[in-house]
Structure 1
Amino acid sequence: MALAAVGASWIHRVNDPGVLCPLRALTGIPCPLCGGTTVFIELGSGRPAQAVLANPVAFTAALGVALAPLGPGRRWWALQPKTRAWLLGSALVGSELWQLVRLGLLRV
């Protein structure tokens, strides 16, 4: 993951591909996963605070995937399927709201 983050950061710095999210490119509205690539770019550039601000849900998910083999993954799968679905749904709704505020489409 660290190598991918550094690679994404280097590619982005050398050749900025612009907006990668198809929904945002077509409509201007971000999806709940918008900012996910930016999370890796910022981490690869050594800016973890900026990575968290880009998409806290994607940052947390990446951290969870990285740490899952060390034990936390068992806790996730021990949850009831309805609980996992509720947590994921809540995270996606929260992420969408975060993106709308971050990109100035929703004011709080």
Structure 2
Amino acid sequence: MSAAAPRAVSAAVRGPRAAALRLGLVALASVAAAWVHQNHDPGALCPLRRLTGVPCPFCGSTTVFMEAGAGHWGGALAANPLTVAAAVLFLAAPLTTVDPMAALARTPVWLRWTAGALMVAGSWLWQLRRFGFVG
């Protein structure tokens, strides 16, 4: 592989064009999800929720895209703030000058696990409250 190849790959995944492509793909997926939901509601897709009625920390992720596709931004945020934050980070990543994977690799492992566990626990509490399991 030539020395120019890594630069070409980096240029393809970074910058405004890459961000616009990501935004376009997410917008298309959101509109498609909203259309499917409007014309055929598949019900709960989460296996835990379908079997037990208890939501998982990631419940509402599909709803985020359906609500966003329908232009209901508040509904998207209420469905699962963690998914909204992840989507925003995904969309903004090509515009940053920081390589997120390199920055993550420099972060101590215990901090990555702790931050991840706190985010998942917070998301689960959000979902339990959203579905009326906790007051």
Please say if residues 64 and 73 of structure 1, whose CA atoms lie closer than 8 Å, have aligned partners that are also in contact: no
The runs of 5 or more residues in structure 1 that have no matched partner are none
Structure 1 runs (4+) greater than 3 angstroms displaced: none
Q: Corresponding residue for 1:10?
A: 35
Matches within 5 A, 1:67-86: 67-71=92-96, 74-75=99-100, 77-79=102-104, 80=107, 81-86=109-114
Please say if residues 31 and 96 of structure 1, whose CA atoms lie closer than 8 Å, have aligned partners that are also in contact: yes
Letter in 2 for 1:11: V
Please say if residues 30 and 100 of structure 1, whose CA atoms lie closer than 8 Å, have aligned partners that are also in contact: yes
Q: C-alpha displacement at 1:91, in angstroms?
A: 0.8
The runs of 5 or more residues in structure 2 that have no matched partner are 1-25
- SS of 1:10's equivalent? helix
Greater C-alpha radius of gyration: 2
Please say if residues 67 and 73 of structure 1, whose CA atoms lie closer than 8 Å, have aligned partners that are also in contact: no
So what's the TM-score if we normalise by structure 1?
0.91
What CA distance in whole angstroms lies between the structure 1 residues aligned with 2:59 and 2:97? Answer: 25
The Cα RMSD (Å) is 1.6
Letter in 1 for 2:70: S
Distance 1:19 1:42, change over 3 A: same
Q: C-alpha displacement at 1:72, in angstroms?
A: 7.0
What CA distance in whole angstroms lies between the structure 1 residues aligned with 2:50 and 2:72? Answer: 25
